[in-house]
Amino acid sequence: MPRRTMIEAIRDAMDVMMSRDDDVVVFGEDVGYFGGVFRATQGLQAKYGTSRCFDTPISELGIVGIAVGMAAYGLKPCVEIQFADYMYPAYDQIVSEAARLRYRSNGQFTCPLVVRMPTGGGIFGGQTHSQSPEALFTHVCGIKTVVPSNPRDAKGLLISAIEDPDPVIFLEPKRLYNGPFDGHHDRPVTPWSKHDLGEVEDGHFAIPLGSAAIRRQGQAVTILAYGTMVHVAQTAAAEADIDAEIIDLRTLLPLDLDTIETSVKKTGRCVIVHEATLTSGFGAELCALVQTRCFYHLEAPIVRVAGWDTPYPHAQEWDYFPGPARIGRALIETLEA
């Protein structure tokens, strides 16, 4: 089976969908001729022409705004915001328009739109190249939020997102673009070609939105994670020698609550991990859901390991990023509770 990086898998997903469906259009800043600052759209303009893949002015609200209009016409735009940190000018179009169009028009107009955004830290990106704004999307009714953690999922989930009849926010952990990252920044990075999930089949395949994946079966504690934190959590559990069950949520909304509930009822303990800041982060929702649905099975308080409630710093990257050591301590704390 062919091996692909996450970037290649994402590009392949768009390529597959553009060739299958003439209504799929791809655009954003530097997305056309140049192929994207992360190379995610490389070659698409040459293959499909400038009317299917093109550069836009630097205007996030403009990019999402025209995409909403195109989707209302009947196209399926798959657009790129260069960094999730720069989505804020488009937030009104996402929240007030894309998310509500079907509801407010009673289905007369719909918004089959995908907004791709590189997200997350661990790359010395500082304040505006590292943020994880997923909670700002999961709080919005009418949009779906997806965060893949590996090339195979990235392709299968992006294909599902493009085929989905509703708007999807597709957050791509840029730290994972070229290889998995377990939080050990002082060790050489392994490429995806050495990882099982770097195997990505050719052609069309879809991974349904709203389904989590169990990355490691375990009995002692359930770890809920997504994106880069899936890999960090796996390493943390291994290093602490804890028999953790690790769930990669993949889709934050709709959420695969059944998989979560089954796991926590089995282990009786739950640790939630995300890069985003703690307060009102998506972990709070997960915590509330687990507490409500698994209360009589819980043997310890649910613990959240998250980014600190500060803007993402530059020099203090590894003091900020929830690495394997912090997660390991949380796991031990939970087991000793």
| Binding region for other proteins (CB under 8 A) | 25, 51-52, 56-57, 59, 61-62, 65-70, 72-75, 89, 92-93, 96-97, 100-110, 141-142, 144, 164-166, 210, 253-255, 257
Give whichever of 261 and 333 is closer to other proteins, judged by the CB atom. Answer: 261
| Nearest-approach distance from CB 145 to other proteins, in angstroms | 12
Rounded CA gap, 303 and 335, in Å?
A: 11
* Shortest Cβ 147–other proteins spacing (Å): 17
How many CB atoms within 10 Å of residue 8?
23
- Choose the catalytic residue: 129, 139, 185, 314: 129
Of 13 and 252, nearer to other proteins (C-beta) is 252
242 vs 260, beta carbon nearer other proteins: 260
CB nearer other proteins, residue 153 or residue 166: 166
Q: Is 129 a catalytic residue?
A: yes
Lateral strand order in the sheet of 24-28: 53-55, 24-28, 76-80, 114-119, 168-173, 144-146, 251-253
Cβ nearer to other proteins, comparing 33 with 73: 73
Q: What secondary structure, in 3-state letters, does 114-160 show?
A: EEEEEECCCCCCHHHCCCCCCHHHHCCCCCEEECCCCHHHHHHHHHH
Minimum CB separation of residue 266 from other proteins in Å reads: 20
CB of 101 to other proteins, least distance (A): 6
Which own/partner contact pairs does 92-97 have at CB distance under 8 Å and 24+ positions apart?
92/61, 93/61, 93/64, 93/65, 93/68, 94/64, 94/137, 94/140, 94/143, 94/167, 94/169, 95/140, 97/64, 97/65, 97/68
* Amino acid identity at 284: A
The CB-of-165 to other proteins minimum distance in angstroms stands at 4
CA distance 333 to 335: 6
Q: Which residues are catalytic?
A: 129
